Amino acid sequence: MNAEIAKLNSVWTESQQTAVQNTLLPEINFEDIISSVISTGPFYYYIIDFFDMSLSNVSPSIMDIHGFDAQTVSFQDILETIHPDDMDFVAKAEQQNIEFLYGTVGKDKLLNYKSCFSFRSRMKNGDYAMLNHQALLLTLDEHGKFGKSLNIHTRIDHLTKTNTNQISLIGLNGFPSYMNIEVDNDNASLEKYSKREIDILKLISDGHSNIEIAEQLFISPLTVKKHRNNILKKTNCKNTTQLIKQSILQGLI
């Protein structure tokens, strides 16, 4: 194991937030859960058990992207695909993710959030491409520490070649979302998105007009327009096209 990967592994082992006992995996409808969290592009998924860093339920599509056999691939194999120049960012992103989940979200809400960030990863042909990483905790141990997590890696180099070096925490089941968290800036402003804003954003991405959105959400078109302008301001986007692209990269839609 090289020094950079060892550093990344230490983020989980030294955080003292990984399970000290095995946790039972609940029955999962993978089609339903994955359709709700992935963005557009080729993808694969797996479940990582933080108790022993073992993998399960690895999708066969990992062969198409990395050339790995789903039956024999290890977590170490996947970590080794990360671009060496992105390894430090990934370690900081994971550390920031842990600190934010336990410090801001709270352990009682951990299963209602997915974390998202991007990094370059080595493809099957040896070239590097941008991947979007989304992680959704599935279990916690009796102490509220990380048990099993569903990780989804989506190829997004058709959307962007550069990394924002930010992480996002997307609230599920009506919980608020937190966007554009700078991993190197403890004093960075934090954008919080309400469930209503996320609902409107998803309808915008589906191509609905303000009037159509207002009808679906039982609010006025003026209220939709106000929300739309607030979303554009929060995301620092100039138009809807840029907004949708950025929202895909951040895992919002």
Is there a single domain that holds both residue 170 and residue 208?
A: no
pLDDT digits (tens, 9 = 90+) for 139-168: 998 888 899 999 999 999 988 888 888 899
Distance, in Å, from the CA atom of 86 to the CA atom of 4, rounded to the nearest integer, reads: 10
Is there a single domain that holds both residue 169 and residue 212?
A: no
Look at residue 59 and give its three-state secondary structure.
Answer: coil
Is there a single domain that holds both residue 63 and residue 185?
A: yes
Lowest mean pLDDT among 63-77, 78-92, 155-169, 187-201: 187-201
Is there a single domain that holds both residue 156 and residue 34?
A: yes
Cβ atoms of residues 246 and 204 within 8 Å: no
Short-list 214, 210, 205, 194, CA closest to 243: 205
The single-letter code of the amino acid at 61 is: S
Instruction: For residue 67, name the pLDDT band (cuts at 50, 70, 90).
Output: very high
Is there a single domain that holds both residue 80 and residue 156?
A: yes
Which of 167, 193, 219 is the endpoint of a domain? Answer: 193
Decide if pLDDT at 82 tops 60.
Answer: yes
CATH number at residue 229: 1.10.10.10
Instruction: For residue 36, name the pLDDT band (cuts at 50, 70, 90).
Output: low
The pLDDT of residue 35? 65
Mean pLDDT of 169-188: 78
Rounded to two decimals, what is the model's pTM? Answer: 0.81
CATH number at residue 58: 3.30.450.20
Is there a single domain that holds both residue 170 and residue 107?
A: yes
Is there a single domain that holds both residue 106 and residue 144?
A: yes
Distance, in Å, from the CA atom of 35 to the CA atom of 49, rounded to the nearest integer, reads: 22
Decide if pLDDT at 232 tops 90.
Answer: no
Decide if pLDDT at 5 tops 70.
Answer: yes
Is there a single domain that holds both residue 124 and residue 228?
A: no
Which of 193, 208, 225 is the endpoint of a domain? Answer: 193
Distance, in Å, from the CA atom of 43 to the CA atom of 132, rounded to the nearest integer, reads: 9
Cβ atoms of residues 39 and 247 within 8 Å: no
Is there a single domain that holds both residue 248 and residue 235?
A: yes
**Domain tally for the chain?**
2
Give me the half-sphere count of Cα atoms (radius 13 Å) on the Cβ side of residue 248: 19
Distance, in Å, from the CA atom of 62 to the CA atom of 43, rounded to the nearest integer, reads: 8
Lowest mean pLDDT among 154-168, 200-214, 231-245: 231-245
Is there a single domain that holds both residue 127 and residue 112?
A: yes
Assigned token pair, 56: 């399960």
Give me the half-sphere count of Cα atoms (radius 13 Å) on the Cβ side of residue 46: 25
Strand partners, 130: 120
Is there a single domain that holds both residue 106 and residue 154?
A: yes
Is there a single domain that holds both residue 24 and residue 48?
A: yes
> Which residue range forms the structural domain that includes residue 49?
3-193
The pLDDT of residue 39? 59
Which of 178, 193, 208 is the endpoint of a domain? Answer: 193
The pLDDT of residue 252? 67
